[in-house]
Structure 1
């Protein structure tokens, strides 16, 4: 009797249905998504159906063809075939009676580049052609862990042909361009995400022809990681959680291929933040601990501070005050050790100035105050300090500070002050209201409902509702 492929079935059942909210994806929906992705990425039509997928789940068939395996990996968010329970047939004459045990899965640069090209091409399609299961939800739990496990191993070599794809002056310009994109988005929120995705797609196509192992190729991978991280942040800011997650994973992969695990850890820290926002603190904590382990020998104090704040975030959401305070103390101690030259090359470490540290810690104390209200005052002290220290050019961060401080004042039952702070934030919030800023405003609107009879609260809630609805 065939052995059931529980890994494949579990991966499908973790995927939300695109047509039935709250339900898991059906075999037919997964098959349709695989066929559509293969058509969009290869230009060839395929005929995977629910019947064959059922045979795979029952274990009647255990090794689909290469195209189906690639499509199922993409749609189900699997890092390799083994993650989906696919095992190749034994060759004739193989006398071994033991099952083949696969080695630790690794990222390889060739596959990484091809997946990056497929991701950007898919993202640039018209919206009506992007209705696949792959866009239905973010990876969670064991599927996400499997996707990131290769970070523990070196990247396998990839392309060997061709001349250097990049000259040093081109790479200098590309690195400067990535920094401008990041600072412009933070200050103004007016960039086109599609333009950034197109730039990333063009960049990774040049990496496809680059010889492996040269300094220029390593820099090319690193620039790709920076642009992928920007694309991920922009997708997250506009509420596209699954798209953002795939770009964050891609950023970690490209940085790891570049040999820059500090930059890869920053992408993982962003992935963890995304898990926290989605109410998945256990997943986020696991990702943070992976980043901490893999950078334990090379992390600067500032990067350690970044990762410690993410660790504290998980403990705040879990309602663990002792572990939270320990992680916060570590973050402040690491931050106090100052900046190293390498920090200028790592986005989160570069931006974690005193204002950002205070704002992040204050927001986490506010999370903890849901379990122990006395921490609301501590949250107000930290966020107020962040506002005093914040660079006026960091408009988005200031908006987050104001909304976060208002929510902390709601916890200490000071509705007038909370309404005043949100009213101050609203004029600048419009540029980012379609994404995480809008989510935070809606959080305020919901949390302030208990004070809806207070005139100033009623007025600002109406203004929030109007802005977020638009």
Structure 2
């Protein structure tokens, strides 16, 4: 059934011919590989692919985010963003920036919505920030909420299944999802295509970005709405195999991302269900990369939930699925997941062997075959996961050494991981008997709480506080315990 035309004009993109000229004779895929290599040269991690390059060259992305900006300026010394054909950042910032400007005395922009006379077509409310949602204004000092938000806002407001897939990060209240059904199969089938598959993929990226900054506790409820919509599209079916494949991969990755938010929030049964859903999707789609990712997260969850035998088996199954994918870093991470399981079993020999294998694979370096979701995996993560293994084995001095290196090496972009490794360091130092140092590390970790909402991190700090209670009279300990009590 056809919908009536939108009352708002369709967005017009002006092709970025300057950036296209910089690509030269390279294909979009080859140029994207150059971007990823250049990012690694300066310690950045971007998941650039041919689709991203196409979006830039078409003018859909008018200004890159800060990570891409640093990479492009490194690739083309002497060029400014304007020389590369990009618009000034302040001219493309979205509603969050404009809202802040309005609060400072400026005029807020008028909102437009897409209307549809078809009652079966899902309607979206105006693009607003709801007080119950971790939307664009809850963390006003984080610039990534402004970047590319003009593109995201259009995806949220065009209606149809694509809007359903993305709406949970467009400011829709969690309660609104409960009342909004997935469209009937007949309605969805008429609309599901490349745009809807892209919306699912973008929802996955958005969740990962927000989790890197803020942890899972404040995001989980909203993200489940996107997941329901994605699987609703799969159930409706598509006319093209390429779209179906993208939806399977996107929905599976979305299930893993939502599962991780549940995991980080302490909702272990929910997380296990989402990971199992992703694994089933991978098996149906015969997608070994998705299967390896699902097993990787399942192993991590099993370790945290006190099921170390399951952690070892899941990690080994993930290694089997990943063996032909050409990513040494993926195999390294899976070996670390296995090491965590052996540590939970108290098997030092098994843990040492898995850690040695992880380090050997990591030393082979990154490759273009590394999955996009592994952008967090660098030397800091390697050190942090090893610290957790030694901690589980009760080897506190070794655990603290690795945790300290993880804190020092962590990219500032990954705020949640900085908080995590700092909390790990505090707990290990407290167990080691270094009360003053543990209190100092714990206080630094508390500084992250607020922007970061993670049950796992709070539990680590709780363990550190419990170990320090008997040492309250030592320097800094009482101050940390009082701050922790107020936060808890």
Q: TM-score, normalised by structure 1?
A: 0.60
Structure-1 residue corresponding to 2:378: 353
Q: 1:279, 1:242 → 2: CA distance?
A: 13
Contact 1:219/1:258 (<8 A) preserved: no
1:225 aligns with 2:252: yes
Structure-2 residue corresponding to 1:292: 319
Which stretch of structure 1 is more off in the superposition, 422-431 or 389-398?
Answer: 422-431
Q: 2:272, 2:348 → 1: CA distance?
A: 29
1:462 aligns with 2:482: yes
Structure 1 position 169, deviation (Å):
4.0
C-alpha distance after superposition, 1:83-116 (max 9, x if no partner) = xxxxxxxxxxxxxxxxxxxxxxxxxxxxxxxxxx
C-alpha distance after superposition, 1:50-87 (max 9, x if no partner) = xxxxxxxxxxxxxxxxxxxxxxxxxxxxxxxxxxxxxx
Q: 1:434, 1:466 → 2: CA distance?
A: 16
Structure-2 residue corresponding to 1:181: 207
Q: 1:400, 1:354 → 2: CA distance?
A: 15
Q: 2:384, 2:219 → 1: CA distance?
A: 27
Which stretch of structure 1 is more off in the superposition, 399-408 or 229-238?
Answer: 229-238
Q: How does 1:357-376 map to 2 (within 5 A)?
A: 357-368=382-393, 370=394, 375-376=395-396
Aligned residues: 310
Q: 1:217, 1:319 → 2: CA distance?
A: 44
Structure 1 position 194, deviation (Å):
2.6
Q: 1:341, 1:391 → 2: CA distance?
A: 20
SS at structure 1 position matched to 2:369: helix
SS at structure 1 position matched to 2:419: helix
Distance 1:447 1:282, change over 3 A: farther
C-alpha distance after superposition, 1:209-262 (max 9, x if no partner) = 215981210110111112112211222222222112111211222233333222
SS at structure 2 position matched to 1:339: coil
Contact 2:215/2:453 (<8 A) preserved: no
Gaps of 5+ in 1: 1-116, 129-158
SS at structure 1 position matched to 2:365: coil
Q: 2:295, 2:269 → 1: CA distance?
A: 15
Q: 2:468, 2:348 → 1: CA distance?
A: 25
Structure 1 position 200, deviation (Å):
1.4
Contact 1:218/1:259 (<8 A) preserved: no
Contact 2:203/2:254 (<8 A) preserved: no
Match of 1:421 among 435, 441, 448: 441
Q: How does 1:66-465 map to 2 (within 5 A)?
A: 166-189=192-215, 192-211=219-238, 214-298=241-325, 300-345=327-372, 347=373, 349-368=374-393, 370=394, 375-433=395-453, 435-454=455-474, 456-465=476-485
Q: TM-score, normalised by structure 2?
A: 0.58
Structure 1 position 187, deviation (Å):
0.8
Q: 2:190, 2:241 → 1: CA distance?
A: 8
Q: 1:328, 1:258 → 2: CA distance?
A: 32
Contact 2:435/2:471 (<8 A) preserved: yes
